[in-house]
Structure formats: structure tokens, C-alpha cells
Chains A and B, each alone.
Chain A
Amino acid sequence: MVLKKSTKYILTSVLVVAALVLLFMLDNGMIGTSYTVRIVRLSFIYALIGVSMNLVNGFTGLFSLGQAGFMAIGAYTVGVLTIPVDLRPNVYYLKPMAEGLANVEVPFGVALLLGGIFAAVFAALIGAPVLRLKSDYLAIATLGFSEIIRAVIANDQLAPLTNGSLGLKSIPGFDSIFIPVIISVAGIAIMALLIKSSYGRAFKAIREDEIAAEAMGINLFKHKEMSFAVSAFFAGIGGGLLAAHLTAVDSNQFKIMVTYEILLIIVLGGMGSITGTCIAAFAITAGKEWLRFFDEAFFIGTWQVPLFRPGLRMVIFSLLLMAIVLFYRRGLMGTKEFSWDGILHFFLRLKRGIMRLGKKPAREVQ
């Protein structure tokens, strides 16, 4: 059974309109709290960074763990360039900002774009040696570079630029929830289009079989470098959005744990699925918050239920992850994308399953 094209069109339109209405209501404070707004913003930003990492890990088949470093480049570029000039003495209170930069303030959009470009250029530079490595070795090398970026940013000698280990604050935040949402959605759409194009097919070919891809006339290095740089560009953009979202950045925010968190998102969503990554980004970002009641003391009558104390949230979270990894080995979506037909089939299967439960013994095997 397949849905009609017009039905799908209507369903998609309804979904988009519903999302827009919800976002609009959130933005105007009609529903949710500022806390909800923060979670939604963060989910969109993580979805963008997740898809950027999936481009390299899921679609091109390169096990890269450098995302946190690229995010740091984007975040610091936005931070350094957008903090209002009159607030800068308060931020750079130990060492004043470098003279050439002290009075340079650019609009958020320009800073964001520059952050992406810097990250992409850096990725292209380290890509030249690093992308000759394969699998685990590539992972370790990219992870190392990511840590190097963090260490360099925190270095005291760079304090006139990055404020060293003190981090940056007073970064102007978003006026509206639509700014991060639109930028994230646009970024994801661009990557989706790239993956759908002939170049995206070449990426997938490299993922499936490098030797065969090369024998088909695909220049391995050029395509790996392209995928790596595009991924870093959007990770940089994501990092920039994160800086504005938090209004403060610190080199400690870009430790390896961030990369793992994003890796978790793409593994959970499915390596090689854009929609899977988006769903997982929301599930994980929001899920961590929803589970927060496990961290608080819980009473039944006067009896305090044991184990409910700070930290239980992460235990439950880990258990949920293990369950998902056990039952959905290839992630929620595998390499498939979201489709209305998929949803329909899911419910049809569910219905069939329930009906079979109702009947006594199933058909006997002959």
C-alpha cells in the first residue's frame, strides 16, 4: 500500500505549518517557558551539528571525531567578533583585547559565516595529511586535532584574541527562536541536497567500497576532503549558533565529550540518515531534560523511594541507550529516510501484529 502523492503533500504541509505555528507560539511566550525555548533551540543546533557529522561519518564512511574542534572554531569566531565593543573591557579584564580587533564588531550573520569558513579552511588543511588514514587511525588523528584546537584556544598567549582560559561572555543572544531554527534548517537542507546530488552519490560509493569507487574514476582524496570541509563548515556554523545560544563560551565546553554526544545522536538516529539524526537530536537533547525528575527526591506518601538522587538520570539514560542499541542495531532509521509510506507501513505492521496476538495459534508451519 502506497500513499498518493497529493496525500503526502498535504501531510507534509500540515506538519510544516504545525511546526511553524508551534514555534511562533513558543516565540511569543504563548506556550512553554523560556526553558522550553532553550531546549528547542538547542535541539535544532544539535540537529545541524549532527547532520554535519553524519555527512562525514555516515555518508562518506570516514570515522572522524573532530567535530568539537570545528565547533570551537565557529563558536570563538562568533564570540570574538560579536561581543559589543563597549562590553569588551569587562570580558577581557585580565589581558586587553588585541588592538587590531578591539574595535571590530561585525553583525552576527557575518561572524557566523566567517566561523564556518575558518572551520572549513582548518579542516581542509588538516584533511590533507589526516584523510590518508583509515578507520580508527583517522578517528584518533581527528580527535587529537580537535583537542589541539581546544588547547590552543585556552592558551594564555592567545589571550588577547580568545581571552585564554577565562572564556568569552556577553555574546549577544538570539532575539527570536526563528534565527537558530532557520539557519539550522537551511544548513541541513543544503547538506541534504549535496547528498542527493552526484557528489553525494560519490560519497556513498566511497563509504561502500573505496577501491571500487576509485576504479570508477572517483578521486578519493578530493571527495573525502570535500565532505570533510563541508562538514566542518556546518559544524562551525553550529558552534557559532551555540555561542549565541549560551551567550558565553569557554574552551572546556568543547571537550571530547561533545563529540561523543553528537556521535551518540548520529548512531542513535542511524548512520546515513538525515531525518534519523534530526529525530535523535531532539530525542536526546529533550530526553535528557525530561528525565530530570529522576535526579530529584521522590516520595510515595512519606516513603522516599531509594535511588532517586542526582545521577540517576544518567543511569536511566544509559539504560535507554543500551536498549535502543540492542533492539535497533542500525539506529532508529538505519540508512533510510523518514517517509509517510514508512509511517504507514509501521502502523500496518503494528496492526497485523496486534491482530495476530488476538488469534490463537498462528498458522502452522508445513
Chain B
Amino acid sequence: MTYKPNVLKVCDVTVQFGGVVAVNNLNLEINKNEIIGLIGPNGAGKTTAFNAITGVYAPTNGAIYLNGELMSSNFPDKKMQAIYAGENLGKYDVRLAPTPDIITRKGIARTFQNIRLFKNLTVFENVLIAKHMTVKANPFSATFMMNREEEKRIRQESMDLLEMLGLADVKNDISTSLPYGKQRHLEIARALATKPQLLLLDEPAAGMNPQESDELMHFVARIRDDFDLSILMIEHHMQVVMGICSRIYVLDYGITIASGSPKEIQNNPKVIEAYLGVDE
């Protein structure tokens, strides 16, 4: 399989909180239609890396490109410069820190490790809210229902999406009343409603049994094809990661200790050491 030029390029991203370097010098590339895995022991900085990409945190140093265009970039200054413990100091001199909503509008959608649905709202409303960012009508014309066409369009699109993902029959249920697996599906559906090019999944198979995670694996592969997506996923279920990811990055204590195909990763002594410890 040949890939088109990369969708996301993360260059030398370091995230430091006070004296703690959560992510150190992360370099990551995602090509079009690729499914990439991001693994590592607990506390390795995987979710921090996600948060840096999606704008929840600005990177302390480094740059992130989306489709070859600079999306966010930062460098340490003042107090941070004095305590900065990462690498590549002085390599970046642009400060660009978009908020998460801007990044979502640019085409990166995400799910959360601990499912974050809009709890008291229905399944349909959850997806419909994600369509809000495509609404062009101003608050005034929306209030006085002068955007009926648009409203009809987003309702139709949301309904289509729910049908594609097999959630149409529960559309009027309160989102948190769904079984756990369905909630995960709904969270992915909601992310897809923003029409992303890149989908970031934070532990989509967490808490699932082998059979469920197997289903999820096929589900992820299917949405990649159906929605023409690139996917970056954090996952602990090796069966899932090894099954669908074309490449894997391994983090440990914020440092990228290995990257490559699933085969290479499985046999990498550093990865084995990080997960299982050293033989004495």
C-alpha cells in the first residue's frame, strides 16, 4: 500500500509541566489513510501527546503541521526557558497556539479516554451538536428559524451518520443509558460528525473483552475506509494495535523509544524492556 504525503506531521514536540517533561521531542508522521498506533506503559505521555495535537495544551517547544501547513508551534520563553529540560531549544521561533475548537474545525477530531458524551442529551442530539460548527446562520436568523434548509441538512446528515454506524435505533435514548460499547461507538460517531481528515482515538477498546475489541478493530478499519480517514490511536490491547496499525510509536517516560511496523515493535528489545522490565 502506498501512502500520499503526510496528513499530520509532529516535529520535535516537547510538553513540559513545571519540571516534569511529559512528552520529550516527539516526532510523528501520519500519512493519508494510515492507522497509526501510539502505545506505551501508563504515564508514558500518550494522552499528553494527544492533548498537544488537539490544542488542549500548547506544546512547550516544537511544531505541528496539518497537510503541510503549520497548525501550532511554540517555544519556551522567560521562566520556562530557565527550566526547560527538553531538546531543540532555539529551533522554533513561531508562537501559534490555536484552541481545540479551531483545530477541530481544521479537521482533527478526537475521542476521550474516559468517555465524554453530553450526558443528559439524546444520542441524536449528541451527534447534532457536533454539526453545530458547520452552521453558517447567525444566532439571530437561527433563533427566528430562517435557516430551515441548513437545520434540515444537519439533521439529515446526523441521521445518516447514525444509520451508518448502527445507532439509528437508539437515537432518542439518553446517551449515558447506552451500554458501554455503544457509548464508545457514539463518541466516535460524534467525532465523525465534524467531518475530520484525521481521527484521534484515545483507548477506544478500554474495558472491552477480546470479542468486543475484535469488533471494534473491524469497526475502526471500516470507518477509515468509509470516511477516507487517517487514524491515530492510543491503545493497550496489543491484539487491536498489532491487528490494524500499519505503524506504531512507543513512548516511555515521554521519550519515543521505538517506531516501526508491528513486527518490528514486537521484537524490539527496548519495548520489551519498557513493558516487562529487564532480566536480572
Contact = CB atoms under 8 A, between A and B. Distances in A.
Interface of A: 190, 193-194, 197-199, 201-202, 204-205, 208-209, 211-220, 226, 230, 335
Given A193-B143, A197-B145, A199-B142, A208 B118 contact: yes
A193 B151 contact: no
B135 A198 contact: yes
Given A190-B143, A215-B110, A204 B101 contact: no
B220 to A, nearest CB: 19
Given A204-B121, A218-B132, A211 B116 contact: yes
B137 interface: yes
A217 B133 contact: yes
13 contacts: A194-B142, A197-B139, A197-B143, A198-B151, A201-B125, A211-B56, A212-B117, A214-B99, A215-B100, A215-B110, A216-B190, A218-B101, A219-B99
A211 to B, nearest CB: 6
Interface in B128-157: 128-133, 135, 137, 139, 142-145, 147, 151, 154
Contacts of B154: 198
Given A190-B143, A214-B100, A217-B101, A198 B137 contact: yes
A214 B108 CA distance: 12
Contact of B132 (A194, A202, A335): A202
A193 to B, nearest CB: 5
A128 to B, nearest CB: 16
Interface string B191-229: 101100000000000000000000000000000000000
B73 interface: no
Contacts of B137: 198
A205 B142 contact: no
Interface in B90-136: 99-101, 104-105, 109-110, 112, 116-121, 125, 128-133, 135
Count chain B CB atoms within 10 A of each CB in A202, A212, A217 and give the residue with the most: A217
A190 B144 CA distance: 8
A353 B121 CA distance: 30
B54 interface: yes
Nearest to B154: A198
Contact of B194 (A197, A217, A219): A217
Nearest to A229: B139
Contact of A216 (B130, B142, B144): B130
B139 A217 contact: no
Given A202-B132, A208-B117, A217-B104, 10 more contacts: A209-B116, A211-B112, A214-B101, A214-B104, A216-B194, A217-B194, A218-B101, A218-B129, A220-B99, A220-B101
Nearest to A335: B120
A211 B144 CA distance: 29
B101 A212 contact: no
Nearest to A272: B120
B107 to A, nearest CB: 10
Interface residues of B, number: 37
Q: Which 5 A-B pairs have the closest CB atoms?
A: A217-B133, A217-B104, A208-B118, A212-B116, A197-B142
Contacts of B99: 214, 219-220
Contacts of A190: 143
Contacts of B133: 216-218
Contacts of B104: 214-217
Contacts of A219: 99, 101
A220 B55 CA distance: 14
Contacts of A197: 139, 142-143, 145, 151
A193 B109 CA distance: 29
Contacts of A335: 120
Contacts of A204: 118, 121, 125, 129
Count chain B CB atoms within 10 A of each CB in A193, A215, A335 and give the residue with the most: A215
Given A215-B54, A218-B133, A209 B143 contact: no
A342 to B, nearest CB: 16
Given A197-B145, A211-B56, A226-B139, A217 B130 contact: yes
A254 B157 CA distance: 48
Contacts of B109: 215
Nearest to B131: A198
Nearest to A192: B143
B118 A205 contact: yes
B101 A198 contact: no
A324 B34 CA distance: 57
A209 B118 contact: yes
A202 B112 CA distance: 19
Given A214-B100, A218-B101, A226-B139, A198 B112 contact: no
Count chain A CB atoms within 10 A of each CB in B56, B109, B142 and give the residue with the most: B142
A49 to B, nearest CB: 19
A226 B132 CA distance: 15
A196 to B, nearest CB: 8
A223 to B, nearest CB: 9
A233 to B, nearest CB: 12
Given A216-B104, A217-B104, A201 B110 contact: no
A59 to B, nearest CB: 11
Nearest to A222: B101
Contacts of A202: 129, 132
A215 B54 CA distance: 8
A216 B119 contact: no
Contacts of B147: 198
A215 B132 CA distance: 12
B142 A198 contact: yes
Contacts of B128: 198, 201
Count chain B CB atoms within 10 A of each CB in A205, A226, A230 and give the residue with the most: A205
